[in-house]
Every structure is written in C-alpha cells, then in structure tokens.
C-alpha cells in the first residue's frame, strides 16, 4: 500500500531537498502527495517503478513544464510530445547529443582559459556566476559560430539581461504576477528582455537563410527531416532559446555542486589535482576520476529534483492506480539516495562511478529518461570534465565558509547557496 506524505507548498518551493530528506527518513521511497501547480502526484525513487514509468506509453512528458513555457515557448523539446518531439530530436541531436567532440572541447577550452586566467591569487569568486559566464560564452559560439565580437557580446548581454528578469521562481510560478505594466513590473521587464533575445535570434535566422555559414544554427535552419515538415521560424527560436539557457545554466550549476563536494573532500581533491597534473593536456576521456567525481556529485545533488510524466489515460504504476490527468514524478533526488541501491547513499564517494555504472539503471538519471533524455547530455558532461580540469590546471582553490553552503532554489533548479564562493589559494 503506497502511503500519503503531506508536503507544505512553501517548504517545497523553498527547499525540496529538505522535504525529500524527511520523506526518506520516514521510509517513504514511494508516496502520493499534492504539490503546487501539479496537484495530486505519485512520487517515487524506486528503480523498479521508475523503469515501469519510463516504459508506460500512457505516461508522457511535456505537460509538466507549464511554468517554463513563457521562457522556452511551446515548441521546445522540453514542452513537445509525440511526433513533433521526435522530429525535433532528429534535427537537433546530431549537433548536440552527437556533436563534434573536438569542436566542443576547443570552444569550451578557449573560453575557460581566457576567464580562469583572470582570477588572481586570493581572489574570491562566485563559482556559479563565473562558470555560467564561461558556459554561456561557449554555447553562443557553439550554436552561432564565430560571430564578430560586437554580435557575440550582444547575444551574451541580452541573454544575461533576460535571465535577470526571472531570477526568482515566483515570477514564473505565480500567475497573478503575469501582469505587463511595462518596465515597472517584473513581468513587463521579462517580456521586454525576452523580445530582445528573440529579435537577435530572428535576425540571425534571416541572415543564415540568405547566406548559410556552416554554423550549427545555419544547419538547423536548413535541415529537412526525413519525415514531417522542417522546423518553422517559431520552432527554431524556441529550440535556440532552450539550448542557450539550459545548455549553459544547468551545466554551470552541476559543476558548482561538483566543486562544492570535491573541495570539501581533501583526499578526492588531491586525487583530482594529481590526475590533471599527470595526464596533462588531453581530451575529457583521459580524466576518468574527474568524471566520476562529477557524476557522484550529480547523484547527491541533482539540480533537477524530479521528472514529470502526465497520465493521458487511466493507468497503473506498481499496481497503484493513476487516474487520467494526474502526474507521476520519477524523483531523481530520492532515486539517487536509495540505500537499497547505493552503499553510503548519503555520502560523497568520488570514485563511485569508476568502471561499470550500468548497475544503476533507473536509479541514476540526472539527465532524464528514455526518449526524453537531455539532448545536450554528452556535451554537458564533456564541458564539466574539461572545465574542472582547466580549473585544476590553473591553480588550487578552496571553499569560502563551506559550513554555510546550503541547497537553494534558482527557478526550477537547485544550486549551492553563494555560488559557492571559492578563493584561489595558489
């Protein structure tokens, strides 16, 4: 019998990790509850049930992302379902999921070296903000190619300005705030800044329609799917926004957690530094310990707490009835801390993911599940390993006031409070 677990909406908005820790402490790996916006939900971290959910055709993705529609639009992979979702993936995956590793490494390394080299000894940085600068510069160049400096800067500044419009989750989640009173209102600023980003993308689209330039953006604009209509201008804008935002912010957030965990563990930190020192200037595949340390951090602190599946008809999960139009949440956080799957489930074990990690199937899914797995997953992992390696190569860093670091919500993702703050010590 699946039990009910009451969740305070305010606590869920403020600290989902804390809420789920209490559920786990009470022995609830699977429970029903009611959540803000989503209503009645089944929440589970049980790998058997997660596997069932991923295979159940009556449970579909897309409809659990209403709060993000004003950001990514209705044509994003995050929101799409069915045949149109498959067509979009067929156009986008060759560039992002199966993208050219050497190009990803070159561009990411270029921006990493340029910005990390500017950090002086004893200088303190907000890690999340610093890493987001690197990853945003990199994703702009990966998508649009080598733009003239003023155009690249225009894209970077307009995206950052727009992001500042919805730095607080309430702007997206609370519908009564969706009132456009121009620049004096949060929603008015959001819409105005969004329009600037869209205008930049549409201008580039017009340019590459006239003169293809070989960039990823140009190739997407000219792509002809094997079946179905090519992507419309609105669809290309929506997908470009998705990759510009989620192609850099979640990577920076995940790597911020990785640094938080790694630098709090002196043995693991020294091992990471030694791997970089020994291996030298090699591609990310040459750093298995760095990758394991990052994957272990994503296990402990996944920036996306849960996935969402919507029941399009009455169905069942583990014998539990799921009525039509209710939600099922495969819970990343609980699955990753399942003591039946992981030894020392609540501890950071940096080398846990060395060797074969297939034993964690349906118990480890920081990038999603099945056909809705993140299209940028391989790119994000490469970038995180490369960036962590570059930081180690440029010097040594220490956490500032590590005891004060707490999980905090940043829109739909969970990040370490304060960035965290790092000091370059040598």
pLDDT at 69: 87
Q: What is the mean pLDDT of residues 5-13?
A: 90
**What is the chain's Cα-based Rg?**
21
For the stretch 85-142, pLDDT in tens is: 999 999 999 999 888 999 999 999 999 999 999 999 999 999 999 999 999 999 999 9
Kindly report the length of the chain: 426
Q: b/e per residue, 364-386, with b = 16+ CB within 10 A?
A: bbbbbbeebebbbebbbbbbbbb
pLDDT at 183: 79
- The residue ranking higher by pLDDT, 166 or 391, is 391
All residues at 6 or more sequence positions from 92 whose CB lies less than 8 Å from its CB, including other chains: 77, 220, 239, 243, 375
For the stretch 271-312, pLDDT in tens is: 999 999 998 788 999 999 999 999 999 999 999 999 999 999
pLDDT at 101: 93
Closest CA to 248 of 73, 146, 130, 332: 130
Bridge partners of 414?
409
Q: pLDDT tier at 416 (50, 70, 90 boundaries)?
A: very high
Listing DSSP states for 248-294 in one string gives THHHHHHHHHHHHHHHT-HHHHHHHHHHHHHH-S--GGG-HHHHHHH
pLDDT at 186: 82
For the stretch 127-178, pLDDT in tens is: 999 999 999 999 999 999 999 999 999 999 999 999 888 767 777 777 777 8
Residue 413's φ and ψ, nearest 5 degrees, are -115, 160
For the stretch 231-263, pLDDT in tens is: 999 999 999 999 999 889 999 999 999 999 999
Mean pLDDT for all residues in the chain:
93
Q: Which helix (H) or strand (E) holds 392?
A: helix 377-394
- The residue ranking higher by pLDDT, 56 or 14, is 56
Integer angstrom CA distances of residue 402 from 134, 272, 418 = 23, 19, 10
Distance CA 357, CA 365 (A): 12
For the stretch 20-41, pLDDT in tens is: 999 999 999 999 999 887 889 9
Q: Where are the alpha helices (DSSP H) in 280-374?
A: 288-300, 332-336
Q: What is the mean pLDDT of residues 364-387?
A: 94
pLDDT at 1: 67
Q: Which two tokens stand for residue 129?
A: 């903000």
For the stretch 130-143, pLDDT in tens is: 999 999 999 999 99
* Angle between the N-to-C axes of helices 249-263 and 127-144, in degrees from 0 to 180, rounded to the nearest 10: 140
Q: Which helix (H) or strand (E) holds 135?
A: helix 127-144
């Amino acid at each position: 019998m699946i039990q009910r677990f009451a969740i305070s909406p305010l606590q869920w908005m403020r600290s989902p990790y804390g809420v789920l820790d209490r559920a786990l402490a009470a022995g609830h790996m699977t429970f029903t509850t009611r959540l803000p916006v989503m209503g009645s939900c089944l929440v589970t971290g049980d790998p058997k049930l997660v596997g069932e959910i991923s295979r159940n055709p009556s449970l579909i993705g897309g409809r659990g992302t209403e709060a993000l529609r004003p950001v990514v639009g209705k044509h994003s992979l995050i929101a799409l379902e069915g045949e149109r979702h498959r067509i979009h993936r067929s156009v986008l995956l060759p560039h992002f999921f199966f993208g050219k590793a050497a190009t990803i490494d070159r561009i990411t390394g270029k921006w990493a070296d340029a910005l990390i080299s500017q950090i002086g000894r004893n200088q303190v940085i907000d890690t999340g903000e610093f890493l987001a600068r690197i990853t945003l510069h990199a994703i702009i160049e990966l998508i649009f190619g080598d733009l003239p400096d003023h155009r690249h800067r225009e894209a970077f500044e307009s995206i950052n300005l727009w992001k500042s419009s919805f730095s607080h989750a309430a702007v997206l989640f609370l519908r009564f705030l969706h009132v456009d009173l121009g620049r004096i209102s949060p929603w008015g600023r959001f819409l105005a800044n969004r329009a600037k980003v869209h205008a930049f993308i549409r201008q580039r689209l017009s340019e590459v329609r006239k003169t293809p330039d070989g960039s990823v953006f140009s190739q997407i604009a000219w792509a002809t799917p094997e079946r179905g209509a090519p992507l419309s201008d609105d669809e290309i804008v929506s997908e470009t926004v998705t990759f510009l935002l989620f192609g850099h912010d979640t990577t920076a957030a995940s790597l911020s957690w990785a640094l938080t965990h790694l630098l709090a563990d002196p043995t693991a930190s020294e091992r990471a530094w030694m791997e970089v020192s020994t291996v030298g200037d090699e591609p990310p595949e040459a750093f298995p310990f760095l990758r394991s340390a990052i994957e272990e951090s994503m296990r402990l602190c996944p920036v996306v707490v849960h996935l969402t599946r919507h029941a399009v008809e009455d169905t069942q999960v583990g014998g539990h009835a799921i009525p039509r139009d209710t939600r099922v949440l495969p819970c990343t956080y609980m699955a990753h801390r399942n003591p039946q799957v992981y030894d020392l489930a609540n501890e950071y074990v940096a080398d846990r993911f060395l060797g074969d990690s297939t034993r964690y199937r349906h118990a480890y899914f920081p990038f999603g599940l099945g056909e809705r797995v993140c299209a940028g997953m391989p790119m994000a992992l490469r970038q995180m390993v490369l960036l962590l390696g570059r930081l180690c190569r440029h010097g040594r860093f220490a956490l500032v006031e590590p005891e004060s670091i707490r999980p905090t919500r940043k829109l739909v993702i969970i990040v370490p409070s304060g960035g965290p703050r790092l000091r370059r010590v040598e």
